[in-house]
Amino acid sequence: MKKMGATATPLFKDHYSISIISLTKTLLPWTFFALFSIAFVRLYFYPFLPFTTTPSPKTDDFSHSSYPFLHASLPSSSPSPLSSEKEKVYEEKSCDYSNGKWVRDKRGPLYNDTNCGMMKEGRNCITHGRPDSEYLYWRWKPSECNLPTFDPNIFLQLVRNKHIAFVGDSLARNQLESLLCMISTISTPKVVHQNGDGQGKFGQWHFASHNSTISLYWSPFLVQCVEKSSTRPNNLLYLERVDEKWARHMDQLDTIVLSIGHWFLLPAIYYENGSILGCHYCPGLNHTEIGFYDVLRKALRTTFNSIIERKLRGKGKNGIIDVVVTTFSPHHFEGDWDKAGACPKTMPYEKGEKKLEGMDAEMRKIEIEEVEIANNKAKSEFNEFGRLIRLEALDVTELALLRPDGHPGPYMNPFPFASGVQEHVQNDCVHWCLPGPIDTWNEILMQIMRKWEK
C-alpha cells in the first residue's frame, strides 16, 4: 500500500448569477465580473467547509464548521465475484457515455441521508427540507450502450491495494463525497486524516477490507496559486508550475481524478516564466486582459506534462498511473443567487431541449483536447518503458447540463422557508444534492476503471 503525507490548500467560496448564461464568449471576461463579482465569491467560499463524523466520535475537522461525516449504517461485506451478466457488460466495446438522455428509474439511489454521513451539510438536500423527491428517480441512459448501476463490491475490487486521489475544486470534493457514500453501503472507511489550518484542505479515507485509500486535495487550478485575500482581490497564478501540494505525492498515487474549471472565472493575474502574462478582470491595473480560456489550457498542459515528466524520471518504477479528467459541470442559475427561485427546476431537460454552447461548451472542449494531446505525448514518450500513463476524460458536461433539478438551491441551508419566503435566501445552483445526479459521474468512472483493468 502506498503511503503519503498530509498537505493543505485554501478554502473555497462560490457564487454565480443568471447573467452568465446569456453572455457570449467575447463579453464574458468583462461584463460578468463587473456585475457579479461579489455574488460569485460568496457562493464559492461556502462549499469547502469541514467534514465531521456522525455519529462516530469526532475526528479532526477541516476547519470552522460542522459537517456530518463518515457514518454508514450498513455492514461491511466481502467482495463478490462478477456475475455472468456483469462479465457481459465488462466485455462491451468502449462506450460514449456522454451521449444519451435521462430516463425515469423507480429504484432510486443506493444511499440516502440516513445511511451516509459523508456528505457535506450543504449537499444534504433531503435533511435540509427539500420537499420534492422526483430528482432522485432518474437514470442516465447512453444512446449506444448500457451504463450499469454502481456496484460497490466491484469498485472495491478494482481499487484493492490502490490509492485514488481527487484533486481540484469543490466539485472534486462533491464527486468524492458521492463515491464515499456509495461505497459505504457495504464498507465504512476509516478517517485517516483531515485537516484545515487556514492554508488548505486535505482528507484521506481507508477501506481496510481491500487496503484501499481515497484522498482529497484542494487545488482549484492544479498549478501554483496564491489565493486572493482581504487586501488583494485577485488570485495569482503561476502557470508553468504545478501545485506541489498535491503533485509531490504523485508517485504514491495509482489513480488521479482531476476536476477544475469554476475558479478560472474569478479575477486573477497570470504569471509565466517570471513575467506577468496578463490578467482576467483586473480593472485599475496596467495588465493585458486575456480572459481565462487559454489559461485553463495552460494549467492543464502544465499538469499533464508534469505527470509525464515525473513518470519518465522514475522510469515507471511505481507502475502505471491513471488520470481521469471530469469535465466542466455547468451551473443552472436562472435568477439572482440571493433570491428565491434561483434554480427552480424540478425535472431534467429533455434531450435536445437545452443546447450545450458558450462558455460551458468551450471549457469542455479545452479539457477534451488537452487530454487527447497529453495521451498522444504519453504514447510517444514511453516507448522505452511501455504504457505508464493512461488518461481519459470523464465527459459529464452535457449530462450535467440536462439536470437543472439536481442542485441544492436554497436547501444548501436547513429549512430556508421555515419562517416563510424571505427577501434574501442563499442558493447553490452549482454543486449537486447527495444523493443526486453526480452519482452518475462515479458510475461512469467505475466503467472507465473496469475497461483499464481488462
User: Is position 431 annotated as part of the catalytic site?
Assistant: yes
Please tell me which residue in 163, 206, 280, 431 is annotated as part of the active site: 431
Annotated catalytic residue 249:
no
Select which of 254, 360, 405, 428 is catalytic. Answer: 428
To the query of whether residue 243 is one of the catalytic residues in this protein, the response is no
Q: Where are the alpha helices (H) located in 77-200, listed in sequence order?
A: 84-90, 152-158, 170-183
User: What does residue 92 show for φ and ψ, rounded to 5 degrees?
Assistant: -60, 155
Distances (CA, A) of 166 to 126, 187, 203, 213, 386: 25, 19, 10, 11, 26
Q: Nearest Cα to 188, choosing from 172, 215, 206?
A: 206
Residue indicated by cell numbers 503533485: 247
- Packed helices 293-314 and 358-381: angle between N→C axes, nearest 10 degrees: 20
* CB proximity list for 171: less than 8 A, separation 6 or greater: 259, 261, 262, 326, 329, 430, 431
The active-site residue out of 170, 187, 219, 259 is: 170
3-state SS string for 311-326: HHHHCCCCCCEEEEEE
| CA–CA gap between residue 298 and residue 365 (Å, rounded) | 14
Q: What is the largest CA-CA distance in the chain?
A: 67
Instruction: Check whether the bond before 109 is cis (ω within 30° of 0).
Output: no
Which residues are known catalytic residues? 170, 428, 431
